[in-house]
Structures are given as C-alpha cells and as structure tokens.
Structure 1
C-alpha cells in the first residue's frame, strides 16, 4: 500500500513539473533604444575673430608737391618740396566679434542659410600722412597742418551685415557670404576740418569661408558639447569715399588753406584722384559658440 502511495506521489509531482514547464514564461523588457543625435547647424551663435587686412588698391605711387615758403607751411622761405609716400600702409591687424543665426534645411548634410553681423577694429594707415620736406633744414611750421592730397587708405574700425549661403557636410560647412559694409576713421588727410575723411562710410563686402563643428570628445571643445565651431574666412571690403576735395593738403597757422590750385603750388609728381574707394581684403580665423548642443 505504501509503495502505491509513494508511486502516486512521485507521479503527481512529475505531472505538476511537466505542467509548469509548459506554462508561458514572462518576457524580459526590450532594451531602451537611444538614437544618436544628428548634428544640425540651425541656431544662434556668437564668437570672436582675428586676422590680417591688406589694401587692394593699385595706387602705390608717391606724391611730390612744390610749395612756396610764403604760404607758411614750412619754416624755410622756399620753394620747398613736400614728398608723401604711396599707399604702402594700407595693411595691418584686424580683430573683433560676430553674432549670427543659421538655418539648416535638412539635418546632417544639406543647404544652410544664415545671417551674420560683425564689428572689427583695424590698424590701417599708420603712415598715411607721413611726408618729408626738402631742402634740408626745412620743417613743418608751428601750427600748420599738412596732409596727403591723395588720401591714403586708413580706418579705425569697420563692420558688416551679411547673408550666408552654404552646404553642410555633417560638421563641415562651406559657404559664400556678402552684404552691407560700413566703416569710419582714417584721420584728416586733406587739411581742412570739413574736408577730412574721418566720417562714416558705407559699401559692400563679399567673400567665403569654411567652418567646422568640433566633436563632443575633442580636447578643444571646452564646453563638452557640440557647440564650438572653428572657421577660416576671407572677405573683400569696398567702402565708397565718394568725391572729396583732395586738392587741399595744407592749413597754415592762420587757418588759411593751401591747395594744389593755389598760386605757385605745383604738383611735381603723383596722382590726385577725385574718387577713391577704401578697398581692402581680410583673411581671418574665428571661433564661435553655438547655443544649443544640437
């Protein structure tokens, strides 16, 4: 009897185990899928830049003017020769900042449209009014002003507001740019206060460049986000000077102007253009911070 009960118990246990094995198992939760973000150039940005600017005008000839000593520009009785150098000083350091916005039509690779504004300090025209007086011993008379009649390029600052159109190859953006330009400074190079080129000038700027967004793990990406970009850019800037009284080049201590049309004054050599634009090219490198990681 005991053997029969034991066999029945074993058989019941095996039947229960087999039934449990046939029960459906509880499925494990699927792994969480985290998509890899696709970089986009869309967003606001701001940064700074530095580079070098150089004049593109072909007027590099010096100017030599013979002036009688009676006009009071020099200390010698004259006639005196006043020699001005050419346009060799239209170059120097350029640096400033920029802000802008980009809109990328398709993430990853695609067309990028943007707008950018910048303001730049320039160190142009340091020697724009440098001259030499002959004969030896003649110097500029006290209180007199002498300025280059050919108006060499000189600026204190300039800025632009430009559109940008380019194509992004993921994190690399190649673009062309163009738009409005402005500038001021340069000093009085005609003598009379009302005939100086120290006023606001406007014109245009065109150029292009290439920009690269640093990966998150780059040691140069100090924000540890896809937010830092590096760029190299070239610009041609033309600021319209319009018509100026470039024949005026001196004011004596009494405030009387002396021009190329004054009696006894002779333009020995040089050029006296009635219209000169401030033309220069800029090559610069910059860094931007793009607001928003992606």
Structure 2
C-alpha cells in the first residue's frame, strides 16, 4: 500500500513538471508597447514682437508731389493656429519714415504712420503665406517756401500680403507688401484737400514668445 502511494505521488510530480515545461515552451514574451508620434510641426501660435525696415513710395492728392523714402518700425501681434495649417492673427505697428518730395513751392512728407490689421494665412510647416488688411493712420505734412508748414493726422485703410519663414521655433523673418490710403484733409498751404496714398515693401524679423 505504501509503495502504491509513493508511486502515485511520483507520477503526479512528473506530470506537473511536464505541464510546467510545456507551458514554458509555449510562452512568447510580449513586445514592449511603443507610442508612434510624428515629429512636431512648426507652431505659429502665440504672441510675437519684432521690427521692420522697408521703402515706401506714394503720391499726394491734388498736388504734384510724390513722397518716397526709407521706413522703419516696430510691431507686435498674436497668432491662432488650432492644429491645422490655417493661421489667423492680429498685428499692429508704428513706423517712422523719411518719405518726402518737393515740387515747385510745395514740399510734402510722411513723418510717421501706423496700422492695426487682421491676418489670415496658410502654413506649409515653417513657411506661412498670408493676406492682411485693416486700419491705417498717419501724418501728412505740407510746407511752402518761407518755412510755412502744416500737418494733419488722418486715418484710412490698408491691404497687403506677405510671406513669413520660421528660422527657429522662436524666430521668424518676413517680407511684406502693403498699400496704404490715408484720408484727405483741407490744407491751408495748398488751398486744397490733400490725401496720401502709398505702397510699401518691407522686411522684418519677429521673436515668438
């Protein structure tokens, strides 16, 4: 009887060992879990601050002068980009200019101007093409021989387009064209209503926060 019990226990032990070995042979370790994530695209979203340098050329209404000259200024803006190539934003700038011209007894100049604009564009990763438009304002200064001068600050509108290039995640460079139309004012020195319309090509650099 004891021999029978011992033998049965031995057979059971051998069977359990065989089952364990079979389980080990059939086990395949699971591959580690991997997250596949594409490289992050360039982001245009957020605030930025920058400067521009350019050249303007224009004409004064009811007057033969055609002021032109170098412009330079500073600007700031904010972009929205919600996970798509479309970029929307607002931008404002203020600029000093050396644009002037003299014809016969008159001299007209545009000492400064500014704009507040909306922007809408389409981004190809770090390249953004955009259109822009909004409010323009600035000074038109008239002068006659003898040093008699007169200045008027007026508002108007502006439209333009440009391209901006992401140099690094915090830096971008742009080239832009704007057409600016400043409303007319009654000038005593000319005895007429004079307005100022000009085109502007400028390059700039922005720092993105």
Instruction: Give your verdict on TM over 0.5.
Output: yes
**Which residue, out of 109, 121, 143, partners 2:96?**
121
Name the structure 2 match of 1:210: 163
Cα offset for 1:19?
A: 4.4
Name the structure 2 match of 1:46: 49
Cα offset for 1:176?
A: 1.6
In structure 1, distance between residues paired with 2:35 and 2:79: 33
Higher RCO (C-alpha under 8 Å, 6+ residues apart): 1
Task: Map 1:31-42 onto structure 2 (within 5 A).
Answer: 31-42=34-45
In structure 1, distance between residues paired with 2:98 and 2:55: 9
Cα deviation, 1:70-118, whole Å, max 9, x if unaligned, reads: xxxxxxxxxxxxxxxxx25x111111111111223542x23x2211100
In structure 2, distance between residues paired with 1:246 and 1:27: 89
In structure 2, distance between residues paired with 1:55 and 1:104: 35
How has the CA–CA distance of structure 1 residues 33 and 188 changed in structure 2, closer, same or farther, with 3 Å as cutoff? same
**Aligned residues of 1:122 and 1:155 also touching (Cα < 8 A):** yes
Q: How many residues align?
A: 194
**TM-score, with structure 1 as normaliser:** 0.56
For structure 2, list consecutive stretches of 5 or more residues without a partner in the other structure.
Answer: 1-13
**Aligned residues of 1:190 and 1:245 also touching (Cα < 8 A):** no
How large is the RMSD of aligned CA atoms in angstroms? Answer: 3.1
Higher strand share: 2
**TM-score, with structure 2 as normaliser:** 0.76
**Which residue, out of 189, 203, 206, partners 1:246?**
189
In structure 2, distance between residues paired with 1:15 and 1:181: 88
In structure 2, distance between residues paired with 1:190 and 1:204: 31
In structure 1, distance between residues paired with 2:157 and 2:26: 80
Cα offset for 1:28?
A: 4.7
Name the structure 1 match of 2:208: 290
